[in-house]
Amino acid sequence: MNILMLAPEFFPITGGVGTYIIELIKNMPEDVRIYVLTPERPGSNIFFSSNIPPIKHESSLNRININYIGKANDNFFNNFIFQVNCLKTIPSMIKRYDIDLIHSQSAMPDLFLSPRLIGVPIITTIHTTIRDEISSIKSSGAYFSDLSKSEKTMVLLSPFLKPLEKIYYGSNRHYITVSNWMKTHVQEDFKNINPKDIKVIYNGVNSIIFNPINKKFSDMHFPELSDIDTPKVLFLSRWVERKGIKYLLDAIPKICEKFDVHFIFAGSNLNRKLKISSKNCSFLGYIPQEKLPYLYTSCDIFILPSLYENFPICLLEAMSSGLAVISTNVGGIPEMITHGENGIIIKPKITKDIIESIEHLIENNELRRKLGENARKTVINKFSWTRIALETKECYMRVLENENINC
């Protein structure tokens, strides 16, 4: 089986979509040959040459082929350029590599392609939707001037982007959603999608790599955190309004009035207007993927106070690392966290809830331990990438069988 994987995000990993694509490739059964089509980003070639994939097993090297088209930085217009390059490149790749199926992502890199015209089926994994992104930005309460550059662009172009997205999801494609919430949501928003064309396959996590045992080596990778002997709370995500970071920043001074606690912020600061001023905070910036397991185990609590999410991989990584996690009851998060059993669920945009949940965990070491242990058990039992890759391959096979029947 020959699969063309469209990767608007790939390496270096800057978000959940990049992690999803790379882990899916790494764990796919060996009878699936994968051709990756992706724009080249700064740092792409640090670990990869044009045909060497992010895989450790030599037996897998011959079934992966990475093809770079164009260059990209992390901004909105690069995605449009990638869409145009896909239109130019994909038809010839289908013939050259005898592609059976295209696996796309919800950034719509195949926007200008018709499955009927190119002659192969397309499966799109829906990580997010444009209308949801725009809605969450507008509901955040932030002033337009406070938004990141990509958020501003998305809001300004929303009258153009929303109709395009509706056309895309009205075409003859098949879909994977990474949560049951998203499946229900897209059925409500895009009436033309046949429910039979949507398969729910959760995101996953590598529980061997993201493991509490990494704590033994955390000081080696993050020596700047080793001397902090107070509880450490980690926020790891892009700094955009929908992540709810401003509500966490509002909560920090009040928490620090009562407790000696340290807050660690990691991830790209896309909203330069958000500043950290507290002496109880550290900002680490972008963390390479290979160092992330040690960052999680350097900390005690993980918080993601998002206004909108689907099924965030960073939350799964924190759970796998044995941290007590706090997040909001949005999107598919309640499908991975059961309140009081393997994490804490709060309402979005409520600073008081952030304060109370963090203070509660600071005061209760035993509760932190219990939640962390149960969180790890959850990801081991339900969210293995090996299992998810196998389910994805089975989805490929079902789509191909149905296409052959309908021919």
pLDDT tens, residue by residue, 155-209:
888 888 888 888 898 878 999 999 999 999 999 888 888 888 999 999 999 999 9
The band of 55, judged by pLDDT with boundaries at 50, 70 and 90, is very low
Query: What pLDDT was estimated at residue 35?
Result: 94
Q: Is the pLDDT of residue 358 over 50?
A: yes
The rounded percent of the chain whose pLDDT value lies above 90 is: 58
Start-to-end Cα distance in the chain: 19
User: Which carries the bigger pLDDT value, residue 366 or residue 407?
Assistant: 366
Mean pLDDT for 105-121 is: 90
* pLDDT over 90 at 152, yes or no: no
pLDDT at position 203: 95
Set out the domains of the chain in order of their start, with CATH numbers. 2-204+384-406 (3.40.50.2000), 212-382 (3.40.50.2000)
Average pLDDT score over residue span 308-314 = 93
CA distance readout (Å), 10 to 7, 42, 106, 152: 6, 11, 14, 24
Residue 149 has pLDDT above 80, yes or no: no
Mean pLDDT on 336-343: 96
% the chain with pLDDT above 70: 90
CB atoms within 10 A of CB 81: 14
Cα 176 from chain centre:
14
Q: Are 316 and 323 in contact (CB under 8 A)?
A: no
**For all residues of the chain together, what is the average pLDDT?**
87
Long-range contacts, stretch 380-387, CB < 8 angstroms, 24+ apart: 380/207, 380/320, 382/202, 382/336, 383/202, 383/203, 383/204, 383/205, 383/316, 383/336, 384/204, 384/205, 384/207, 385/23, 385/24, 385/26, 385/27, 385/204, 385/205, 385/206, 386/27, 387/204
Residue with tokens 């990767």: 7
- Mode of pairing for the β-strands spanning 301-304 and 324-328: parallel
Residue 272 — pLDDT band, cuts 50, 70, 90?
low
Rounded average pLDDT over 226-246: 89
- Check whether 266 has a pLDDT greater than 60: yes
pLDDT at 42: 66
Q: Which amino acid is present at 165? A: E
One-letter amino acid at 368 equals R
**Widest distance between CA atoms in the chain:** 68
Three-state secondary structure call for residue 42:
coil
Over residues 380-406, mean pLDDT = 89
What is the reported pLDDT for 277? 65
Rg (CA), the chain: 21
| pLDDT tens-digit series, residues 16-54 | 788 899 999 989 998 999 999 998 876 655 444 333 344
Whether the Cβ atoms of residue 122 and residue 104 lie closer than 8 Å to each other:
yes
- Whether residue 218 has pLDDT greater than 50: yes
Confidence (pLDDT) at 270: 56
Residue 141: predicted pLDDT: 75
Q: Give me the pLDDT at residue 75, please.
A: 61
Assign 10 a pLDDT band (cuts: 50, 70, 90).
confident
What is the reported pLDDT for 50?
A: 37
- Min mean pLDDT across 48-52, 66-70, 140-144, 394-398 is at 48-52
* Cα–Cα distance measured from residue 254 to residue 67, given in angstroms and rounded to the nearest whole number: 50
